[in-house]
Amino acid sequence: MGRYVARRLLQMIPVFFGTTLLIFLMVYSLPGDPVAGLFGDKGASPSTLAELRHKYGLDQHILKQYWDYITGIVLHFDFGTQFRNDRPVTEVLGDAFPVTIQLAALAFAFELVFGIGLGIIAGLRAGRLADNAILIFTLLIISIPVFVLGFIIKMVFAFQLGWIQPNVSNDQLLSEMIAPAIVLGGLSLAYVARLTRTSMAENLRADYMRTAVAKGLPKRRIIGVHLMRNSMIPVITFLGTDIGALMGGAVVTEGLFNVKGVGGLIYESITRREGSTLVGLVTVLVVVYLVTSLLIDLLYAVLDPRIRYA
Amino acid sequence: MPDVTKTADAAVVATPSVDAPAPQAKPEKPRSLWGDAWRDLRRNPYFIVSSVLIFFLLLIAAFPGMFTSASPTAGDLVKHYIGKPELSKIGSEGWLGYDIQGRSVYARLIYGTRASIIVGICVTAIVTVLGGIMGMIAGYFGGWVDALLSRITDIFFGIPFLLGAMVVLQAFTERTVMVVVFALAFLGWTQMARVMRGAVITVKQADYVHAAKALGAGTTRILFRHILPNAMAPVIVVATIALGGYISAEATLSYLGLGFAAPTVSWGLDISAGVQAIRTSQHILLYPSIMLSLTVLAFIMLGEAVRNALDPKLR
């Protein structure tokens, strides 16, 4: 176990550097000049531009810039400076991440409860009416792009029924986050329900299920313990990779509902060519992704004792 | 042909080429995996519905002039915001109303199909070939080749898909179809590589691969004649479902203002324009959204049907 974790942590190192370098190169090979962009149409004298470039290290070779950036993160937890208002990127991220984590957690809880719930209902009644209804419902949800789903929810619940406010206010109350969380988690909910259903329907026919029934165990225990524990591995795999996706993929949802989180920041930094902010964001998301995938691999052994790590 | 070798041999005969679009085995070989799948498919209502939908979408994309005589770009400002479906005049210029600039919503729906379909098919083709080759090499050779290719895949997989596409697109001022395709394929291939790698690892231990090796077949021959046809099923399923996803991604990017730009007719652009009138003229937003969702639905349904037909466990 300890050796397995160590090996996985070692494997993470090249992936971490590779991904950050890739996004760094992508961002800094963009045409356009973030420094010149600060001055708008009027422009500034070349010496001012050169001085600013020097201040942010933009006049150095790209690999040197990457090296300085990454050592700054690793050694001093310094993510650089946002050009536009000279704020440290850590501070900008500190403002945005709590909001997004709140939204993502709500969406995650939503997909966990309803996704697994619907999946269990469908899986236990495979081939019957409830199963088919859930299959068609999830198929529809998967087909509707997130921004269309967002508009449908806005149109129906905000404009016609008036149950919710169309936009989240500046206080970012938890109750206002429900609608965006449903939109954000909708797609994953459908996937979770389908995965749970397939996995359960398959395992219903397994030998250990027959044994459990033959032993005379109560139905609750057969389904709740024997069947669930064995059926959850693919679902947990999906849920794990989804945590990172929920945090990074909220660009559209956050824009739709005016949530001031990571998604809006990503969009803004791409269009404004704020390289340092963008790379910082991606770095955090990559770390989240790497850590969750490791945790999930370790969870397998808890769910299925046959899996052992040498 | 003796009955024992049926599955492997028939599959090789049925789909010898890399880019066979759908599992269409010849009917005279009914006992192969693909033959069974095809018989299963023909009776699946999901398959029939999605095929009919996709047939019409391809037809619209290829010959938009057949469905409307109106121009998607000619606007008459007098008619702007007029909307209300007139079912009696179905197919006429104004039956779905007019948009902000007085252009026919119906004509724009019809002409917008092409962009979505082309992006979907091109991205899927590139991603399947590229990711497929990567996955095949990694899975077949194993060892340090696999370790290296898998880490490269991990690196690309670590960047969120939409975010990566946005960064790539931002680099181009003129965003043509090819640019959008490139941006989506740039990070999209990792999924295919992973699926292909897994499938190849399972297949390469099969007896017929060892037999081919013992008979002295070359690596290329083993890879393309023996392993590929038998490892392709999961890739085809994932590719079909992903095609719908790419169409959805293109629309999302266009909606965000990072995909196609104005003279191109695209559903994502129309939806983005319709947002301005969300409270007053909902038809501008509604019809492209329906069309987009229907297209994505058709491809996802097709993928599901193919999956059900190919996976014996789900039967």
Q: What is the pLDDT of residues B34-68, one digit of tens each?
A: 777 788 788 888 888 899 999 999 998 888 877 77
For residue B117, the distance in angstroms to the closest alpha carbon of chain A comes to 15
**Which residues from chain B sit within 8 angstroms of residue A147, using beta carbons?**
251-252, 255, 271
**Which residues from chain B sit within 8 angstroms of residue A198, using beta carbons?**
314
Reported ipTM exceeds the 0.90 cut = no
B29-38 contacts: CB < 8 A, separation 24 or more?
B31/B3, B31/B6, B31/B7, B32/B6, B32/B7, B33/B7, B33/B233, B33/B310, B34/B10, B35/B10, B36/B309, B37/B306, B37/B309, B37/B310, B38/B309
Q: What is the mean pLDDT of chain B?
A: 80
Measured between CA atoms, the residue of chain B closest to residue A197 is B314
Is the pLDDT reported for residue B22 higher than 60? no
Inspect the interface and report whether the beta carbons of B159 and A245 lie closer than 8 Å: no
Is the pLDDT reported for residue B280 higher than 80? no
Inspect the interface and report whether the beta carbons of A139 and B156 lie closer than 8 Å: no
pLDDT of residue A199: 86
Two structure tokens written together for A195: 């995965």
Q: What is the pLDDT of residues B281-290, one digit of tens each?
A: 777 788 888 8
pLDDT of residue B181: 92
The C-alpha atoms of residue A264 and residue A188 are separated, in whole angstroms, by 21
pLDDT of residue B133: 92
| Average pLDDT of the segment spanning B112-117 | 88
Inspect the interface and report whether the beta carbons of A23 and B289 lie closer than 8 Å: no
What are the helix (H) ranges across B88-176?
105-141, 143-158, 161-170
- Side-chain-side CA neighbours of B154 within 13 Å: the count stands at 21
For residue B167, the distance in angstroms to the closest alpha carbon of chain A comes to 6
Two structure tokens written together for B56: 């019409």
* Contact (Cβ atoms closer than 8 angstroms) between residue A190 and residue A244: no
* Contact (Cβ atoms closer than 8 angstroms) between residue B16 and residue B222: no
Inspect the interface and report whether the beta carbons of A289 and B158 lie closer than 8 Å: yes
**Which residues from chain B sit within 8 angstroms of residue A249, using beta carbons?**
160, 162
For chain A, give the longest Cα–Cα distance.
85
pLDDT of residue A289: 82
In this complex, the residue of A244, A252, A282 whose CB is nearest that of residue B252 is A252
Inspect the interface and report whether the beta carbons of B248 and A145 lie closer than 8 Å: yes
| Average pLDDT of the segment spanning B269-297 | 83
Weakest mean pLDDT among A29-38, A73-82, B288-297: A29-38
Is the pLDDT reported for residue B20 higher than 50? no
* Contact (Cβ atoms closer than 8 angstroms) between residue A243 and residue A292: yes
Inspect the interface and report whether the beta carbons of B252 and A154 lie closer than 8 Å: no
Is the pLDDT reported for residue B123 higher than 90? yes
For residue B13, the distance in angstroms to the closest alpha carbon of chain A comes to 31
How sure is the predictor about A294, in pLDDT bands with cuts at 50, 70 and 90?
confident
How sure is the predictor about B264, in pLDDT bands with cuts at 50, 70 and 90?
confident
The C-alpha atoms of residue B119 and residue B135 are separated, in whole angstroms, by 23
The C-alpha atoms of residue B99 and residue B265 are separated, in whole angstroms, by 13
**Which residues from chain B sit within 8 angstroms of residue A143, using beta carbons?**
244, 293-294, 296-297, 300
For chains A and B, CB pairs below 8 A equal 115
The C-alpha atoms of residue B123 and residue B178 are separated, in whole angstroms, by 9
**Which residues from chain B sit within 8 angstroms of residue A11, using beta carbons?**
151
Is the pLDDT reported for residue A170 higher than 90? no
Of B301, B175, B307, which Cα lies nearest the Cα of B234? Answer: B307
Mutate to test the interface with B, among A22, A100, A131, A148 (most CBs of B within 10 A): A148
| Average pLDDT of the segment spanning B261-286 | 80
Question: Which single residue is written with the structure tokens 């998604």?
Answer: A263
| Average pLDDT of the segment spanning A144-160 | 83
How sure is the predictor about A281, in pLDDT bands with cuts at 50, 70 and 90?
confident
How sure is the predictor about A42, in pLDDT bands with cuts at 50, 70 and 90?
low
Is the pLDDT reported for residue B4 higher than 50? no
DSSP bridge pairs for B98: B104
